[in-house]
């Protein structure tokens, strides 16, 4: 049923509950038709300041993009070598947007994006051919691996902040890394305010790992200070339970514990996960 | 924050809880840009059978309409006199769809709708001028009043069913009304499977009112038999508590009661509402 306001919305309570409230044995999925066309636009900028202005201009102009991503600093540098076109000298920030819809809609929105992002960009790359589009997204899929390959390891968190605080979150990530003497970068889903804030490490170096974990812990405080969340997409599990305690008020913590108790009074369902410590 | 998977989704639990779990003192709303154009297409059919086939063809062809409404039988008859164009003789069912987006998108989708709905329709009405579009929706806003005006009163429910059961729900509504000797019709939001199933009565006639209330109660069983819900949009309140008990399993009832107890152990928040009896 598409519309149902009879009882409480228990479905939404279970979605994202990480198996702590119930075992889901079946699901109905709603399918949307695939768009006829999806045309990406990549724009390169010198740094985070002009890059986040560009992101904001897409949002403020109400362009209904299907994708709005960014790569900053060391993340862009790590992946630049395999970018399927030329990356301009001095590029320290990349914005990736995608226009989708019917062929005509996508072409129009793509032109709007090029017109909006192009003038202040060092360069843009806006492939049209299906193969070139596919190459771009294959490249994007490899970004995390390219970043890991720089030092052999990384410590990364998936904080999210309100859209108007994204620039501060990118800058704050760099400051935390610098304070701990770590090579630092971020990339992620700008349209969701969701960062993959990352510290590049040699994971065989216990001192570096310890510094990166301390720095990662400060990322949570950064997200909360900006009105955000400690997890935009990966969830809480065991690792972020202490961060969750900082995000939630005592009243919210009490509600979480009581709801868990309602669904699972014996504590059998995925014990030790999701709950604030 | 657009994305947040840190804790349980308490926001969705509160949305639609009818004030029984908490008092909401503030809300952030996400705004979407208004479409540049919105073009309605009305198609008239002889009856519910060809009308529901037309509705299904819109859904099955994946046309992403902004609106998909219907009016059937006595509902259409009650409102036909004020329809802003000619209603063809013998029309017993109307489909109203709307195409929105940029001017080009809306025009294209409108043409697709006319091509899809037109051939089997008695006639179509697809205004383009802003004034004519406005007149159509003003007319649609008056349908409920026009239906009420036939006998001075009505008893109406807002059941919803899976989209592929809509035809059975429309037919089932008519059968229930016939069994109770009541003039009966329905109209509503076909794209949501949401019917306003309605019995027309003289509300000063206690016998007729009693029959209509008995018939309305059977609508709930009809909705549940078709895999639907006793309320698509109006909620539970006091009136539908007994129907809610039929919709929910004993386990779901227990969860609702326990969640209410977690948020409101003293039973102070909108007492007597929303809970299954």
* pLDDT on residue B104: 87
**Secondary structure of residue A43 in the 3-state scheme:** strand
Tell me, yes or no, if A28 comes closer than 8 A to chain B by beta carbon: no
What does the buried/exposed string (b/e) look like for B155-188 if buried means 16 or more CB atoms within 10 Å of the residue's CB? bbbbbbbbbebbbebbbbbbebbeebebbbbbbb
Per-residue pLDDT tens for A3-45? 999 999 999 999 999 999 999 999 988 888 789 999 999 999 9
Average pLDDT over residues B252-267: 97
Using the predicted structure, report yes or no on whether residue B62 has a pLDDT greater than 90. no
Q: Which residues does B236 contact at the CB level (< 8 Å), separation at least 6?
A: A5, A6, A7, B18, B230, B243, B244, B273, B274
Per-residue pLDDT tens for A70-89? 999 999 999 999 999 999 99
Q: Give the closest-approach CA distance of A31 to chain B in angstroms.
A: 10
Directed axis angle between helix A103-117 and helix A48-60, to 10°?
Answer: 140
Taking a contact as any Cβ pair under 8 Å apart, which residues of chain A between 162 and 221 contact chain B? 162-163, 189, 191-194
- Give the strand order in the sheet containing A67-72: A123-125, A37-45, A93-101, A67-72, A183-189, A194-201, A153-157
Q: Which residues does B61 contact at the CB level (< 8 Å), separation at least 6?
A: B112, B116
Are residues A45 and A94 in contact, defined by beta-carbon separation less than 8 angstroms?
A: yes
Closest Cα in chain B to A101: B105
Per-residue pLDDT tens for B69-78? 999 999 999 9
Whether A163 and B16 lie within 8 Å, measured CB to CB: no
Tell me, yes or no, if B233 comes closer than 8 A to chain A by beta carbon: yes
Closest Cα in chain A to B229: A4
How crowded is residue B263: how many other Cβ atoms within 10 Å of its Cβ? 17
Taking a contact as any Cβ pair under 8 Å apart, which residues of chain B between 41 and 60 contact chain A? none
* pLDDT on residue A104: 87
For residue B206, CA distances in Å to B55, B149, B178, B212, B213 come to 37, 18, 18, 10, 10
Per-residue pLDDT tens for B165-178? 999 999 999 999 99
Closest Cα in chain B to A103: B105
Tell me, yes or no, if A13 comes closer than 8 A to chain B by beta carbon: yes
How does DSSP classify residue A163?
G
Are residues B21 and B260 in contact, defined by beta-carbon separation less than 8 angstroms?
A: yes
How far apart are the C-alpha atoms of B259 and B240, rounded to whole Å?
19
How far apart are the C-alpha atoms of B6 and A270, rounded to whole Å?
16
Average pLDDT over residues B3-19: 96
How many CB contacts within 8 angstroms connect chain A with chain B?
164
Q: Cβ contacts (< 8 Å) between B194 and chain A: which residues?
A: 2-3
* pLDDT on residue B54: 97
Tell me, yes or no, if B269 comes closer than 8 A to chain A by beta carbon: no
Tell me, yes or no, if A82 comes closer than 8 A to chain B by beta carbon: no
**Secondary structure of residue B160 in the 3-state scheme:** strand
Token pair, residue B163, equals 């989209």
B8, B234, B258 member nearest A13 (Cβ): B8
Token pair, residue A132, equals 């070139």
How far apart are the C-alpha atoms of A249 and A230, rounded to whole Å?
14
Taking a contact as any Cβ pair under 8 Å apart, which residues of chain B between 120 and 159 contact chain A? none
How far apart are the C-alpha atoms of A263 and A266, rounded to whole Å?
9
- Confidence bin at B31 (pLDDT 50/70/90): confident
Per-residue pLDDT tens for A50-67? 999 999 999 999 898 999
Whether B104 and A101 lie within 8 Å, measured CB to CB: no
How far apart are the C-alpha atoms of A110 and A40, rounded to whole Å?
7
């Amino acid at each position: 049923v598409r519309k149902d306001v009879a009882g409480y919305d228990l479905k939404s309570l279970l979605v994202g509950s990480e198996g702590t409230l119930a075992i889901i044995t079946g699901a109905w999925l709603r399918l949307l038709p695939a768009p006829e066309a999806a045309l990406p636009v990549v724009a390169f900028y010198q740094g985070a300041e002009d890059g986040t202005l560009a992101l904001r201009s897409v949002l403020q102009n109400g362009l209904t993009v299907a994708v709005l991503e960014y790569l900053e600093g060391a993340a862009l540098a790590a992946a630049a070598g395999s970018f399927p076109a030329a990356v301009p000298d001095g590029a320290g920030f990349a914005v990736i947007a995608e226009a989708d819809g019917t062929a005509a809609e996508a072409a129009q929105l793509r032109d709007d994006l090029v017109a909006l992002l192009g003038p202040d960009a060092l360069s843009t790359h806006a492939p049209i051919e299906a193969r070139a589009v596919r190459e771009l997204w294959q490249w994007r899929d490899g970004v995390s691996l390219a970043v890991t390959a720089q030092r052999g390891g990384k410590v990364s968190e998936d904080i999210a902040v309100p859209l108007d605080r994204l620039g501060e979150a990118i800058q704050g990530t760099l400051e935390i890394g610098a304070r701990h003497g770590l090579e630092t970068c971020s990339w992620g889903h700008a349209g969701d305010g969701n960062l993959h804030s990352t510290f590049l490490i040699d994971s065989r170096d216990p001192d570096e790992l310890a510094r990166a974990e301390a720095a990662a812990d400060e990322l949570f405080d950064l997200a909360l200070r900006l009105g955000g969340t400690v997890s935009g997409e990966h969830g809480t599990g065991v690792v972020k339970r202490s961060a969750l305690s900082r995000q939630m008020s005592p009243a919210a913590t009490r509600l979480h514990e009581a709801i868990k108790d309602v669904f699972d009074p014996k504590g059998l369902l995925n014990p030790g996960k999701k709950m604030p410590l």
